Amino acid sequence: MRLFGLLALALAAGPAAQPAGPPGTGPVAYGQAAADSMPSPPPAPSVTGLAARDVRDDAGGAIELSWELVPGVTADSLLVSRSADGGTWETVAFLPGAEVVFTDEGLEDGVEYSYTVTSLLGGAASQPAGPVSAVPSAQWLHSKRTGMLIILVLLSGVIFWFIDQGRKGRKLYIREIAGLSAVDDAVGRATEMGRSVLYIPGIMGMDDIQTIASMIILGRVAGKTAEYGADLQVPVCNSVVMSVGQEIVKEAYLAAGRPDSYRRDNVFYLTDDQFGYAAGVDGIMVRQRPAAIFMLGTFYAESLILAETGKSVGAIQIAGTAMPSQLPFFIAACDYTLIGEELFAASAYLSREPKLLGSLKGQDAAKLIIMLVIVVGVLAASIGTWWAPAASLADFLRRILHVE
């Protein structure tokens, strides 16, 4: 122990590889102070229970040190020293005296690293705590996400089984979703009235799954407008969404055999600003008075501003989002609202393709499984208050369903 203390002091006094410490508490000052007070024994460390362990669920190259503070003793600073495979010691960090954890990164996997922590108290260095050792390594599977992986594989299995059933021609019952059944009526109404169809794909970018779902539905709606000959307007607030939207609408018009009706400028950029976008779309609604408005995607505070303006111009409105906080606004102001999962079911529902309908059926089956797990979990947690096996089951479910 004494040897490590001297090593740490010697290293602290050295000019190389010393991170800058707080003013007046630099390693040279402490090293000198310690050397001056050599005859008296160094004070006891301010930390205890030093432990080193490989950082779990990482890409390797990191060790986490943790310790506890000795009650009533607070060091000015803590000096962390490291030795690789029993080699020379080097200082790797100066930490505030109240710190209780440190992660050393940039290490080599498979090499054993030893650590000591020296407290710097009133100009003197304490005996070092430690040494403790650990070997950094990388993990191939995130241990706290194993439960999630199992659930994902199970759900995927169920969904794929139903997709296969659909492919084989099995008759699958899908409940009617009023908002999606009304898409044809909405586009037809706009055609008959000679007004446009306004499609608003939310205010997020293409890295948002709701925007992706919205783009898929846009393809279906564009197919209908191409078929009926209605005018489609798609104002967007993101340049990438604009590019994707233009391509999707173009493909839909080509697939409908109406490439001549496609106009690139019908999918146009307004602004990235949330309320600037809301103002721009409101202006389009008031000036053009579209007969049908689709609001499908991610919406925030602008949802009610858009929906109420659409209501005021007498348009038939179909909205859909998975944002729980915005759903009440859409339900209050729109004719039809796709709630959460219905937004993601829209493409399959509109296409009526057996494979896609199979995936919807699989989604419903997966939901049933989750409902059963919730019921079992609630019962187990309730009964577990007086029956230990049920408590164990509740703990198991909690552990497997917990995701970091």
Partner 1 sequence: MRTILPLAITFVTGMIMVLNFFVPHRPFNSMGNSLSDWYMIVASAAIFLGAMNLLQVHFARIRHRARNWQYSPVAIGGFLLMLTAGLVTGVEEGRAFDFMFQNMVVPMGATMFSLLAFFVASAAFRAFRSSNWRATLLLVSAFVVMLGRVPIGDLLWRLVPGAASGAHPSLVTEIAEWIMQVPNMAGQRAVMIGAALGVVATSLRMIFGVERSYLGGAD
**31 touches partner 1 by CB under 8 A:** no
Residue 289 beta carbon to partner 1: minimum distance, rounded to whole angstroms: 11
Among 182, 216, 390, 391, binds partner 1 (CB under 8 A): 216
**324 touches partner 1 by CB under 8 A:** yes
Indicate the residue among 37 and 261 with the shorter CB distance to partner 1: 261
**Exposure string (b/e) for 132-161, b if CB count within 10 Å is 16 or more?**
bebbbeeeeeeeeeebeeebeeebeebbee
Give just the sign of the alpha carbon dihedral 89, 92, 98, 99. Answer: negative
**337 touches partner 1 by CB under 8 A:** no
Residue 168 beta carbon to partner 1: minimum distance, rounded to whole angstroms: 14
Indicate the residue among 39 and 324 with the shorter CB distance to partner 1: 324
| Residue count, binding to partner 1 (CB under 8 A) | 84
Of 37-66, binders to partner 1 (CB under 8 A) are 57-60
Among 51, 100, 370, 375, binds partner 1 (CB under 8 A): 370
**332 touches partner 1 by CB under 8 A:** yes
Indicate the residue among 152 and 178 with the shorter CB distance to partner 1: 152
Residue 383 beta carbon to partner 1: minimum distance, rounded to whole angstroms: 21
Indicate the residue among 155 and 182 with the shorter CB distance to partner 1: 155
Q: How far apart are CA 382 and CA 300, in angstroms?
A: 37
Q: Which amino acid is at 231?
A: D
Of 257-276, binders to partner 1 (CB under 8 A) are 265, 268-270, 272-276
DSSP 3-state assignment of 238?
coil
Look at the chain and count its residues: 404
**207 touches partner 1 by CB under 8 A:** yes
Span of 24-32, 151-159, 183-191, 380-388 interacting with partner 1 by CB under 8 A: 151-159
Q: How far apart are CA 162 and CA 57, in angstroms?
A: 34
Among 215, 230, 313, 397, binds partner 1 (CB under 8 A): 215
Cβ neighbours around 179 below 10 Å, total: 24
Residue 39 beta carbon to partner 1: minimum distance, rounded to whole angstroms: 51
Indicate the residue among 228 and 311 with the shorter CB distance to partner 1: 311
**Exposure string (b/e) for 6-33, b if CB count within 10 Å is 16 or more?**
ebbbebbbeeeebeebeeeebbebbbeb
Residue 253 beta carbon to partner 1: minimum distance, rounded to whole angstroms: 9
**205 touches partner 1 by CB under 8 A:** yes
**401 touches partner 1 by CB under 8 A:** no
**Exposure string (b/e) for 287-321, b if CB count within 10 Å is 16 or more?**
eebbbbbbbbbbbeebbbbbbebbbebebbbbbbb
Q: Measuring CA to CA, how many Å separate 29 from each of 33, 98, 134, 151?
A: 6, 20, 31, 57
CB 204 within 8 A of CB 213: no
Among 34, 183, 213, 316, binds partner 1 (CB under 8 A): 213
Residue 153 beta carbon to partner 1: minimum distance, rounded to whole angstroms: 10
Burial of 339 (0-12, 13-18, 19+ CB in 10 A): middle
**139 touches partner 1 by CB under 8 A:** yes
Q: How far apart are CA 303 and CA 137, in angstroms?
A: 48
Among 174, 255, 376, 401, binds partner 1 (CB under 8 A): 255
Phi/psi at 203 (nearest 5 deg)? -115, 15
